[in-house]
Structure 1
Amino acid sequence: MEAAAEPLRSVRHLSRVLLFLSQCYILSGDGSLNLEHSQPLAQAIKDPGPTRTFSVVPRAAESTEIPPYMTKCPSNGLCSRLPADCIECATNVSCTYGKPVTFDCTVKPSVTCVDQDLKPQRNFVINMTCRFCWQLPETDYECSNSTTCMTVACPRQRYFANCTVRDHIHCLGNRTFPKLLYCNWTGGYKWSTALALSITLGGFGADRFYLGQWREGLGKLFSFGGLGIWTLIDVLLIGVGYVGPADGSLYI
């Protein structure tokens, strides 16, 4: 019995060896027993090898911002009536001052305009007078006002103002420029009211109180109008406009 069991044990032992070799063959992946491919999983996780990094570049967003000049540009209006901020012209500063001149102009991007026949147009011609912006008449530009200078003064005071050409006026050079102007503002005082108070109640200083000149008003009040002499002088000075409001503004 023991002699018969001995071959059976050999066959079982051989089958186990063959099963072990077949598993190694499958794990090797190329038909050869390679220990590098059968490294433990823990070691592979610990040393995953070089990795690649990918950077995602976002697509540039399409610009939907409206140009600032579009707020001044009417849609489908006459090209020749567009404000200067809406067009670009080939100007020539060597033109003769005060003479008519013609310039070729083109509307800026996103601006739509038409000609006299209501047809879309981009290139057109404008007619203007050859002169710089600071040489325009006062009705063609707007200037900042000052409420700190004295309008009632001798000599009359001036101030530097920042002036801007009106939209539909075309000229050469910068459309914003400084200019020296006479003080011209009012605090709401009426010349007729001041003169009437000076004639009727001038002896009590009512005219000076009305104009905001409190010290002079008190002086006239307690001196009874300078015994009438100061009253007559104030009537003349207010009548010719020499005496005005204490804040230095003009009469209305």
Structure 2
Amino acid sequence: MACQQWRPDRGRCLKTYAVVLLLCTDLVLQRVQGYLSSPHVGQEPPYTRDSQHGPVITSAAVPAAASASPADDESHASKCPSGGLCRRLPADCINCNYQHNCTYGKPASFTCQAKKGVHCVGESGQQQTDFSLSITCQFCWQLDPSQYRCSNSTTCMTVACPRQRYNATCDVLDHVHCLGKRHFQKRLFCNWTGGYKWSTALALSITLGGFGADRFYLGQWREGLGKLFSFGGLGIWTLIDVLLIGVGYVGPADGSLYI
């Protein structure tokens, strides 16, 4: 009778021991797996070599941004005027906290700071580091065309109808302050010139148009040969060209504008 009661108790103990053993095994496996999956396993720590003491272990942390080098300070100092008014410094010589919550077309004030190595003074003549700059609230690409310079295209036709545009690369002038990028793209009308004078073309059309001199001058040699061998189209072509060149309808063959 005692043996019959002891056997169930022994079975429950064995089950308890088995469960505890399984839990311990699972915990150990998780620790081992976590260590093996660690990024530090199988990798050597970064180090730098010292000529006297050999390799020196360094931290793997990302270094902070380096401060401006003395060469940068000298470049700013050489390109930027020194001793003048802070508000008249070129845009590349100052750092401003431009905020885009201003009203377009209205004056807005921003806090600016001269770059390291650049010295300027305020209205009172005292040297300043932080100062206030007042500009018109607008982006750089919204400036008046006189306040920036753009690249010119010599491949588009200026006399096409409708007028052709090209993608120009523009840069804001140094003394002009604006919001956004100072280097931008803009579509402009073709406005380049190849050096042909309208007055010269008109004079040749009136005097020697019957021999095609005006067309030869403009680079249109096929039309020039046609006028030469037809005696100006018996005078009719000559009169028509005088009118067309006079109003600017006929221009240089390269598609440029007259001077």
TM-score category, normalised to shorter length = 0.7 to 0.9
User: Residue deviations 1:114-149, cap 9 Å, x none?
Assistant: 112322111111111111111101011110111111
Give the letter aligned to residue 53 of structure 2: F
Partners of 2:246 and 2:81 in 1: CA distance: 50
| Alignment-derived partner of residue 131 in structure 1 | 138
| Alignment-derived partner of residue 196 in structure 1 | 203
Give the letter aligned to residue 240 of structure 2: I
User: Residue deviations 1:73-114, cap 9 Å, x none?
Assistant: 112221100111111112110111111111111111111111
User: Counterparts in 2 of 1:53-202, with a 5 A limit?
Assistant: 54-55=53-54, 64-67=70-73, 68-202=75-209
Partners of 2:78 and 2:176 in 1: CA distance: 17
Q: How many correspondences in the alignment? A: 195
Aligned residues with identical type, % of pairs: 71
Contact 2:77–2:118 (8 Å) recurs in 1: yes
User: Residue deviations 1:147-180, cap 9 Å, x none?
Assistant: 1111122222111001111111111111111000
Question: TM-score w.r.t. structure 1 length?
Answer: 0.73
| Alignment-derived partner of residue 11 in structure 2 | none
Contact 2:138–2:178 (8 Å) recurs in 1: yes
Give the alignment's Cα RMSD to 1 decimal: 1.7
The verdict on how the C-alpha distance between 1:71 and 1:246 changes in structure 2, with shifts beyond 3 A counting, is farther
Partners of 1:173 and 1:64 in 2: CA distance: 28
Contact 2:76–2:115 (8 Å) recurs in 1: no
User: Counterparts in 2 of 1:8-27, with a 5 A limit?
Assistant: none
| Alignment-derived partner of residue 243 in structure 1 | 250
Question: TM-score w.r.t. structure 2 length?
Answer: 0.71
User: Residue deviations 1:38-67, cap 9 Å, x none?
Assistant: xxxxxxxxxxxxxxx73499xxxxx54234
Deviation at 1:69, TM superposition (A): 4.2
Q: Which runs of 5+ in 1 are unaligned?
A: 1-52, 58-62
Contact 1:87–1:105 (8 Å) recurs in 2: yes
Contact 1:84–1:168 (8 Å) recurs in 2: yes
Contact 2:105–2:137 (8 Å) recurs in 1: yes
Give the letter aligned to residue 235 of structure 2: G
Give the letter aligned to residue 54 of structure 1: H
Deviation at 1:233, TM superposition (A): 1.1
SS in 1 for 2:215: helix
Runs of 4+ residues over 2 Å off in structure 1? 53-57, 66-72
